[in-house]
């Protein structure tokens, strides 16, 4: 079975099977829970079957419900088919629907609340305000009406009271990106509540943040064949991004990774392609301040460019939004890395930066970036990780997220007791031996 989603060339049954496997493998649904559908150009609805193992679905298991109501396939359509149909009737712009019971969103559902997307500008931009559908019997016409009413008001993400979530997109790739991003945001809010209070951004702050991405780099006039080193860098980027997605360290809808190519030139992830479905050929080279012909780099490209220009000892940059580090970002709570030797040696003291400063004219983030302080948390936004090598930066990201998780989990046990100053001093004497490995990928 294919591992990369292509909504233009793949048959609906193959798209659904791939995305359901992705959801199940990410532990975002159960064997029996959830259903996916696609409405094709003829108005036919392709949907997951009733009573089938979601972890072992095959393309042949997917059912097609024709516009006239006739059913084609080996199985019965999902019992939740009525609300899928109701959404498509209410919103012709929606062509794919995902319904599942991911634990983060369900946690909000069972206390009858919705996650506030205004904690992160990119989440608010993609998912908007979250709808809320009152409880009704699963599979009933009433449930379909409740959900469709929220979509009719403009929502594309809806929390279902005491049930789960339903999410719509222009295709199943967009729907999945919203689903994954929303679930991770819900978890960050939940974990953040254990260490502090989430800070909600004003609409004006969100708008100001999003306007910073308008200035794209100029396009080069001609394209040139990729060198062997260029191809090697692209392959390394692809491997790290795939690994990060599998481990929940990067999401399809958000994040960027780059690696220095030569001098101040570098290769970076593209814009508007899910990180799950990238190929080495999708990566964008930035040469002499110009973007590769015919390609658009990630919106954060100017930050990557500035880091490489001002810090010659940095050769890789990762910007992402993993669940536990994001809990610190949205609360602004201190991230104390003096937990275990590995964490302090690799990360040193992690800086907490005000939201939006990485794109400000005075470049407030750049003086903070250094090889000695490779991880920075930006409030209400993301984590920025740098390294001399790509694998080194990735390891720093892993260490930081593991540490954030441990700090949050320990909150229920008592106050964290950091390694003492004299012990830190002793660690400093062995630090260079620990950090200066020959990082290979």
The sheet carrying 63-65 orders its strands as 71-72, 63-65, 45-47, 35-39, 96-100, 164-169, 157-160, 131-133
* Residue 197 tokens, joined: 């209070």
For residue 215, the model assigns a pLDDT of 65
The size of the chain, in residues, is 441
Please give the mean pLDDT across all residues of the chain.
92
Summarize pLDDT for 230-251 with one digit per residue, the tens: 999 999 999 999 999 999 999 9
- What ranges in 91-218 are assigned the alpha helix state H? 103-109, 121-127, 141-152, 172-192, 203-211
Residue 4 lies in a domain: no
What's the domain count of the chain?
2
Instruction: Give the pLDDT mean for 255-273.
Output: 95
Same domain, 417 and 278: yes
Top pLDDT among 212 and 99 is at 99
Q: Is residue 254 predicted with pLDDT exceeding 80? A: yes
Query: Is residue 3 situated within a structural domain?
Result: no
Percent of the chain whose pLDDT exceeds 90: 81
Backbone angles phi, psi at 274, to 5 degrees: -55, 135
Q: Are residues 131 and 255 in the same domain?
A: no
pLDDT surpasses 80 at 358: no
- Which CATH number belongs to the domain containing residue 286 in this structure? 3.40.225.10
Residues 48 and 110 occupy one common structural domain:
yes
With cut-offs at 50, 70 and 90, classify the pLDDT of residue 332: very high
| Mean pLDDT to the nearest integer, 179-203 | 97
Residue 201 lies inside a defined structural domain of this protein: no
Q: Which residues are catalytic?
A: 80
Q: Within this chain, do residues 100 and 244 fall inside the same structural domain, yes or no?
A: no
Residue 365: what pLDDT? 76
Co-location of 166 and 260 in the same domain: no
Q: Are residues 172 and 282 in the same domain?
A: no
In a domain? residue 209: no
User: Is the same domain home to 144 and 65?
Assistant: yes
Indicate if 134 and 239 belong to the same structural domain. no
Q: Which of 147, 176, 192 is the last residue of a domain?
A: 192
The pLDDT tens digits of the residues spanning 71-82 come to 999 999 999 999
Confidence (pTM): 0.93
pLDDT for 4 equals 94
**Residue that is last in its domain, among 139, 174, 192:** 192
Angle formed by the axes of helices 172-192 and 323-331, to 10°? 60
Q: Is the pLDDT of residue 278 over 60?
A: yes
| 360: pLDDT strictly greater than 80 | no
H or E segment and range at residue 232:
helix 228-246
Is residue 321 over pLDDT 50?
yes
- Any domain includes 91: yes
Average pLDDT over residues 149-171: 97
Same domain, 275 and 166: no
Taking residues 408-426, report their average pLDDT: 91
- Band of pLDDT at residue 430, cut at 50, 70 and 90: low
Question: Is 247 part of any domain?
Answer: yes
pLDDT band, very low/low/confident/very high, at 368 (cuts 50, 70, 90): confident
Q: Inform me whether the pLDDT recorded for 356 exceeds 80.
A: no
Domain with 389, as residue range(s), is: 220-435
User: Does residue 418 carry a pLDDT above 60?
Assistant: yes
For 251, residues 6+ apart whose C-beta sits below 8 A from its C-beta are: 177, 180, 181, 184, 245, 275, 320, 321
Give the per-residue pLDDT at 361. Answer: 47
> In whole angstroms, what is the distance from residue 392 CA to residue 437 CA?
9
If asked whether residues 334 and 387 sit together in one domain, one would say yes
Closest CA to 387 of 281, 240, 284: 240
Task: Select from 150, 172, 192 the last residue of a domain.
Answer: 192
Same domain for 133 and 257:
no
Q: Do 163 and 70 belong to one domain?
A: yes
């Amino acid at each position: 079975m294919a591992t990369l989603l292509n909504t233009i060339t793949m048959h609906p049954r193959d798209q659904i099977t791939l995305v359901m496997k992705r959801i199940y493998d990410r532990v975002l649904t159960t064997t029996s829970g959830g259903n996916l559908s696609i409405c094709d150009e003829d108005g036919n609805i392709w949907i997951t079957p009733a009573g089938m193992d979601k972890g072992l679905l095959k393309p042949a298991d997917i059912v097609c419900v024709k516009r006239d109501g006739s059913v084609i396939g080996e199985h019965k359509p999902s019992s939740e088919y009525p609300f899928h149909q109701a959404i498509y009737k209410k919103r012709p712009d929606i062509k794919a629907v995902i319904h599942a019971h991911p634990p983060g969103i369900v946690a909000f559902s069972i206390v009858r609340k919705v996650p506030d997307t205004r904690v992160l500008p990119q989440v608010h931009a993609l998912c908007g305000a979250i709808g809320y559908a009152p409880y009704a019997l699963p599979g009933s016409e009433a449930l379909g009406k409740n959900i469709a009413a929220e979509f009719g008001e403009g929502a594309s993400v809806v929390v279902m009271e005491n049930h789960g979530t339903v999410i719509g997109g222009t295709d199943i790739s967009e729907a999945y990106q919203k689903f994954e991003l929303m679930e991770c945001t819900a978890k960050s809010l939940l974990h953040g509540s254990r260490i502090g209070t989430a800070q909600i951004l004003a609409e004006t702050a969100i708008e100001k943040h999003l306007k910073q991405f308008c200035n794209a780099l100029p396009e080069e006039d001609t394209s040139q064949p990729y060198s062997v080193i260029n191809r090697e860098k692209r392959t390394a980027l692809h491997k790290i991004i795939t690994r990060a997605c599998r481990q929940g360290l990067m999401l399809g809808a958000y994040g960027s990774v780059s690696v220095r190519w030569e001098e101040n030139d570098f290769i970076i992830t593209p814009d508007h392609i899910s990180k799950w479905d990238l190929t080495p050929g999708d990566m964008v080279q930035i040469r002499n301040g110009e973007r590769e012909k015919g390609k658009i780099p990630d919106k954060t490209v100017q930050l990557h460019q500035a880091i490489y220009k001002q810090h010659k000892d940095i050769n890789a940059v990762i910007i992402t939004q993993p669940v536990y580090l994001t809990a610190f970002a949205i609360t602004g709570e201190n991230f104390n890395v003096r937990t275990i030797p590995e964490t302090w040696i690799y990360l040193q003291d992690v800086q907490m930066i005000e939201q939006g400063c990485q794109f400000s004219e005075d470049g407030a983030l750049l003086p903070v970036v250094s090889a000695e302080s490779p991880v920075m948390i930006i409030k209400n936004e993301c984590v920025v990780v740098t390294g001399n090598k790509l694998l080194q930066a990735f390891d720093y990201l892993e260490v930081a997220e593991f540490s954030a998780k441990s700090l949050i989990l320990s909150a229920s046990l008592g106050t964290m007791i950091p390694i003492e100053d004299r012990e830190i001093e002793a660690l400093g004497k062995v630090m260079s031996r620990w950090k200066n490995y020959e990082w290979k990928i």
